[in-house]
Amino acid sequence: MVEIRKIGVIGAGQMGNGIAHACALSGFDVLLNDQTPDQINAGLATINGNMARQVSRELISEDDRKAALERIQPAETLSDLSEMDLVIESAVENEEIKRTIFKQLCPLLRPEAILATNTSSISITRLASITDRPERFLGIHFMNPVPLMQLVELVRGIATEDETFDAAKVFVDKLGKTATVAEDFPAFIVNRILLPMINEAVYTLYEGVGSVEAIDNAMKLGANHPMGPLQLADFIGLDTCLSIMQVLYDGLADSKYRPCPLLVKYVEAGWLGRKTQRGFYDYRGETPIPTR
């Protein structure tokens, strides 16, 4: 079984920088890649800020923070990842973009390197089929925010070998996280359950059954959820929510997964949630205000 020590992460956004953060804190050497140096530097700055908050909350020590930051280095080109033991793709949830990345990346990697995707919904088997190593390819789906969330979904494609899967389980264990095994069906386990609930909450708003505040308070106080479904949708990103619902709708051909038209409208408006300062809530002031 391959020993994973050096990790490449493609995508320095919310999920990618979180994966790099968690890996570095667990002692792995990490190279962080994105399309531009500015995007990589923004990801590194986010990691630095998030680790500083962990120090202030006494979750890690200042020495831990400094050591972890030294383990993360920028990778301005994909060729910089050529010596990695494991490369995790964490680009936008768009299959064509992911396929393009894998086609460019595979010729650069060592034959024994493991390739993984952090996709939250797309078929692992289908993505693996366009690589040169489907037997060394799998899904390693982290939850957001990565440094805090304990669960990782491991998803093997039809060609994933046992050795690859076992190495991934050891890797997740070294991160101090819990792996759950999901079959390669649209959206796997967590999002197969979570996103239809969020979509139904948007339908409830769309049909005028309740306001944004009423819906979120109902689920927080009535179902003991730590965060309301519309607030959670803003946190995830409404574009990501829509992408996952579309994968479910296309992949399972069941009308119960049809994305709510109101969700589509918000995405078309560019109101994607926290990352754009507006979604089901407006975050531009001191406190979030419902937008409907």
Domain with CATH 3.40.50.720 in the chain: 6-182
Other Cβ atoms closer than 10 A to 148: 12
Distance CA 89, CA 137 (A): 11
Of the candidates 120, 121, 123, 243, the residue annotated as catalytic is: 120
User: What does the pLDDT read at residue 2?
Assistant: 77
User: What does the pLDDT read at residue 175?
Assistant: 98
Of the candidates 21, 93, 123, 153, the residue annotated as catalytic is: 153
Q: Which of 239, 237, 7 is nearest to 113 (CA)?
A: 7
Distance CA 116, CA 152 (A): 13
Q: Which residues of the chain have pLDDT under 70?
A: none
Of the candidates 93, 141, 199, 243, the residue annotated as catalytic is: 141
Q: What is the pLDDT of residues 272-289, one digit of tens each?
A: 999 999 999 999 999 999
Helices 62-71, 37-56: crossing angle, 10 deg rounding: 160
Q: What is the pLDDT of residues 53-76, one digit of tens each?
A: 999 999 999 999 999 999 999 999
**First vs last Cα of the chain: how many Å apart?**
53
User: What does the pLDDT read at residue 158?
Assistant: 97
User: What does the pLDDT read at residue 3?
Assistant: 87
User: What does the pLDDT read at residue 41?
Assistant: 97
User: What does the pLDDT read at residue 200?
Assistant: 98
The CATH number, out of the four listed (3.40.50.720, 3.30.2270.10, 2.60.60.20, 2.40.30.20), of the domain defined by the range 6-182: 3.40.50.720
Active site residue 191: yes
Domain topology for 192-290:
N-(1-d-carboxylethyl)-l-norvaline Dehydrogenase; domain 2 (1.10.1040)
Alpha helices in the chain (DSSP H): 14-25, 37-56, 62-71, 95-105, 124-128, 162-174, 190-206, 212-222, 229-236, 238-252, 261-269
User: What does the pLDDT read at residue 190?
Assistant: 95
Burial class (CB in 10 A: 0-12, 13-18, 19+), 207: exposed
Give me 230's structure tokens.
């519309």
Of the candidates 121, 191, 199, 243, the residue annotated as catalytic is: 191
User: What does the pLDDT read at residue 113?
Assistant: 97
Active site residue 121: no
Domain with CATH 1.10.1040.10 in the chain: 192-290
